[in-house]
Amino acid sequence: MKWHKLDMEIPEEDFVKLIKLEGKKICLIKHENNLYAVQNTCPHAGGILSGGWCKNGHIICPIHRYEYSLQTGRGAAGQGDYIDIYPVEERVDGVYIGLKESFWKKLFS
């Protein structure tokens, strides 16, 4: 796991937005004053989760309204799917997101 510092100011109010980190598209979310980072593509049919919204601790996909837990990534009952979630740490010098390093990157760095 490698931690990457975000190069942005975190707004006061809640938001759902697309960010790019290490060439990867990530959906960054502030919901009820907590920060979450999840995969940007919906596993159902490729909807863009950063175009969605949050409700009761879930990100809602804008295409068919599937819901995924911001805490666990699990789809709502009956969906049987999940999204990747990435750890977020708020440190004194900024916000960091943890990404797994790929095998090949590890090998050649």
Give the residues lining the site for ligand FES (CB under 6 A): 42, 44-47, 61, 63-64, 66
Distance in Å from the first CA to the final CA of the chain: 14
Q: How far is the CB of 8 from ligand FES (least distance, A)?
A: 26
At 69, the amino acid letter reads S
Q: How far is the CB of 37 from ligand FES (least distance, A)?
A: 18
Q: How far is the CB of 39 from ligand FES (least distance, A)?
A: 12
Instruction: Tell me which residue of 79, 81, 21 sits closest to 50, measured CA to CA.
Output: 21
Rounded CA gap, 65 and 96, in Å?
Answer: 29
Instruction: Considering the complex, state which of residue 8 and residue 45 has its C-beta at the smaller distance from ligand FES.
Output: 45
Return the SS3 of 22: coil
Instruction: Considering the complex, state which of residue 47 and residue 73 has its C-beta at the smaller distance from ligand FES.
Output: 47
